[in-house]
Amino acid sequence: MKRIGLILALLLSFSGFTSKSDFSVSDFSTRNITFNGLYFPVNKEAIIRKFGQGKIVQTDYECGAYSAEQEKGPYYQLAYKNFNFIGSDKEDFMLENVVFDAAGKTVVIYQKEILNGFTTKAQFITIFGSEVERLFENGQNGNTVLLQSKDSDDGLMFTFERGRLVKMEYWSPC
């Protein structure tokens, strides 16, 4: 009897390492993303202190949060090798695009969860919950999923290739 109790206790203690997250897609917020210690939105000076002066790329989006018609524009990107930010001199910046490397060096953190080029689709589903699996199934190619933020009308699109995370892109509705 003691042996069964010991086995049960061991199984319960190890189940914490393999159980799904308590996270729900409806809890998702772009504000819980960090990239190299920066939370978003973030001011331009903090980006430049962290990464140096990026290449300034003018944008001309027809619609969305960073379209030319928005009053806090004109918007532009601060572009770096595998990522870029978007914002303006009148508004803080968002992480707009990250291309994850196969070596796992480029890292985004959502709450305490690491997302990088090693992140598999299965791990992503474990982190964000079974609702995400249905979002993948309903998507155009089964490899891209949009997680919309609970506290705004924007979100992030995550793209997988060969079962691994390869890209994260900021998204806003038109």
Share of the chain above pLDDT 70, in %: 84
In a domain, 3, yes or no: no
Nearest to 98 by CA among 166, 2, 6, 1: 166
Radius of gyration, CA atoms only, the chain: 19
Instruction: Give residue 23's pLDDT.
Output: 52
Q: Is the pTM of this model over 0.85?
A: no
Residue 16 has pLDDT above 60, yes or no: no
> Dihedral of the CA atoms 95, 41, 52, 87 (nearest 10)?
70
Sign, Cα dihedral of 7, 9, 13, 19:
positive
In a domain, 101, yes or no: yes
Under the banding of pLDDT at 50, 70 and 90, the label for residue 27 is confident
**In a domain? residue 112:** yes
The answer on pLDDT for 164 being more than 90 is yes
Chain-wide mean pLDDT for the chain? Answer: 86
Q: Is residue 93 part of a domain?
A: yes
Domain interval for residue 116: 20-171
- What average pLDDT does the segment 140-162 reach? 91
